[in-house]
Amino acid sequence: MKARFFKVERSQHAYLTFITESYEGLCTVSTVDNKNGIIRVIAPEGREDELEGLICALQEEIGMEEVAWPAC
pTM: 0.88
Tens of pLDDT, residue by residue, the chain (72 residues) = 789 999 999 999 999 999 999 999 999 999 999 999 999 999 999 999 999 999 999 999 999 999 998 864
Domain ranges of the chain: 3-67
Contact 44, 11 (CB under 8 A): no
User: CB of 27 within 8 A of CB of 39?
Assistant: no
Which amino acid belongs to residue 69?
W
Architecture of domain 3-67: 2-Layer Sandwich (3.30)
Q: Are strands 38-42 and 65-67 parallel, antiparallel or unpaired?
A: unpaired
Residue 29 pairs in a beta bridge with 41
Three-state SS for 38? strand
